[in-house]
């Protein structure tokens, strides 16, 4: 049984709504208008609030949490650690000189020199290793504190992910897009099944959030985790739910997914970190 | 296979029961036990977990992704079609979100039989 599950999780079934020549911008327009039509009463800016944008019942409870949010301490710790000197006398400030203005809205970006998608987390750890420090763990802990601080300073900036006219960048975007729409796992479900077609529907008691705006609140403090987590931590969880083998946080696959997924929220405001129930 | 009004002799009914493998209403003690097992499998989160998506009488915290499973005999006069839908929903809708329980070995053939028997009573 286990063997079958693993084999199936690598099996990708071709996705249906796949216009061959659609540009990232076409994709975004189509996704946006799908949701604006599906939820005509939800103000567009509200999509940054995930499921609480569309579910009034949980929204009230969530707003109460947001008054004294559990992520606040992560921002504080992040601030301290961000300014603390590394052993070589430098600090994150040297790697992220524009941090005060807000930088999160520009991540992930495609670095044409290395041919890689650069996520904020990968840039944080690159800063560390470039300065002779050890990498942080990718999914929780200190990396979410630095991330929370940088997201906080970026609040209100519009997400602005770019796909340059570069074969590698376009390929990464398309890999992410394919991942999002492809069925996977023993239970055979795509991200799109839950967060596009049935967004707003209920799986058991869980209301499904729309893909539009889904990334803007990360990192999040999730009560279920009793702590903070990155977007890739969540990806892993959503893969496991359908009995697919999760990929490693910051693997090429998840970076490509984040690239597509974040592009699909372009124009909405960064509002991380956030509270999740 | 449809049960039509002009089948009247007990012999032919008996033959039908034999070939359907199941006939609600005149369920034997065994049938009753099968239906109970089917219900358990349908509600079990590691097996059918049908409540994730369907409202089913007797189940709580049901989702609403799929239609409520009620009046099944009216919607599926043909028992085999119902079983086929539960075995692999992709036959009717290639892009369905419903789990391909049979082909992906989420439940065994026997388990799918039991679940179908239960669903057919709804």
| ipTM > 0.85 for the complex | yes
Given the structure tokens 């089917």, which residue do they identify? B38
Report the residue of B104, B105, B107, B108 to disrupt the A interface, i.e. the one with the largest count of A CBs within 10 Å: B104
State pTM to two decimals. 0.89
Model pLDDT for residues B51-69, shown as the tens digit of each residue? 999 999 999 999 999 999 9
Q: For residue A236, what are the contacts with CB-CB under 8 A and spacing of at least 6?
A: A139, A246, A247, A249
Q: Which domains does chain A have, with CATH numbers?
A: 15-67+158-276 (1.10.760.10), 72-153 (1.10.760.10)
Model pLDDT for residues B65-106, shown as the tens digit of each residue? 999 999 999 999 999 999 999 999 999 999 999 999 999 999
Residue B26's pLDDT is 53
- Are residues B62 and A201, on separate chains, in Cβ contact within 8 Å? no
Asked whether B48 and B41 are in contact (CB, 8 A), the reply is yes
Active site residue A238: yes
**Concatenated DSSP letters of A75-105:** HHHHHHHHHSPPTTS--HHHH-TTGGG--GG
Residue percentage of chain A with pLDDT more than 70:
93
Asked whether A267 and A158 are in contact (CB, 8 A), the reply is yes
Report the residue of B62, B63, B67 to disrupt the A interface, i.e. the one with the largest count of A CBs within 10 Å: B63
| pLDDT over threshold 60, residue A13 | no
In this structure, the dihedral spanned by the alpha carbons of residues B89, B94, B99 and B100, taken in order and rounded to 10 degrees, is 70
Task: For residue B97, list chain A residues with Cβ-Cβ distance below 8 A.
Answer: 189, 193-194, 197-198
Model pLDDT for residues A142-161, shown as the tens digit of each residue? 999 999 999 999 999 999 99
CA distance B39 to B48: 9
């Amino acid at each position: 049984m286990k063997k079958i599950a693993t084999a199936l999780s690598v099996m990708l079934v071709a996705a249906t709504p796949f216009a061959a020549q659609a540009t990232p911008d076409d994709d975004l327009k189509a996704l946006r208008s799908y949701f604006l039509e599906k939820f005509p009463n939800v103000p567009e800016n509200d999509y940054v609030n995930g499921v609480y944008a569309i579910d009034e019942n949980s929204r009230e409870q969530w707003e109460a949490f947001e008054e004294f949010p559990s992520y606040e301490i992560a921002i504080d710790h992040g601030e301290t650690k961000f300014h603390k000197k590394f052993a070589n006398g430098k600090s994150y400030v040297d790697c992220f000189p524009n941090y005060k203005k807000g930088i999160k809205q520009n991540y992930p970006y495609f670095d044409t020199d290395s041919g890689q998608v650069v996520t904020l987390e990968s840039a944080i750890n690159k800063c560390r290793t470039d300065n002779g420090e050890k990498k942080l763990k990718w999914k929780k802990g200190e990396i979410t504190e630095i991330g929370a601080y940088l997201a906080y300073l970026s609040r209100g900036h519009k997400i602005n992910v770019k796909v340059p006219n570069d074969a590698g960048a376009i390929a990464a975007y398309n890999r992410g897009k394919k991942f999002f729409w492809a069925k996977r796992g023993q239970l055979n479900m795509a991200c799109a099944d839950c967060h596009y077609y049935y967004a707003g529907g209920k799986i058991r008691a869980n209301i499904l959030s729309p893909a539009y705006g889904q990334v803007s609140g990360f990192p999040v403090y999730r009560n279920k985790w009793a702590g903070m987590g990155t977007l890739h931590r969540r990806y892993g969880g959503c893969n496991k739910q359908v009995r697919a083998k999760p990929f490693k946080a910051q693997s090429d696959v998840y970076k490509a997914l984040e690239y597509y997924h974040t592009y699909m929220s372009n124009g909405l405001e960064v509002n991380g970190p956030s509270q999740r129930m | 296979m449809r049960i039509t009004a002009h089948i009247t002799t007990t012999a032919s009914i008996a033959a039908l029961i034999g070939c359907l493998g199941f006939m609600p209403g005149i369920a034997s003690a065994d049938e009753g036990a099968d239906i109970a097992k089917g219900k358990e499998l349908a509600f079990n989160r590691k097996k059918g977990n049908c409540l994730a998506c369907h409202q089913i009488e007797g189940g709580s915290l049901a989702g609403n992704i799929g239609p409520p499973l009620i009046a099944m005999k009216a919607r599926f006069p043909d028992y085999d079609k119902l079983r086929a839908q539960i075995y692999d929903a992709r036959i009717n809708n290639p892009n369905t979100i419903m789990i391909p329980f049979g082909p992906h070995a989420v439940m065994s053939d026997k388990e799918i039989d039991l679940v179908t028997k239960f669903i057919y009573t709804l």
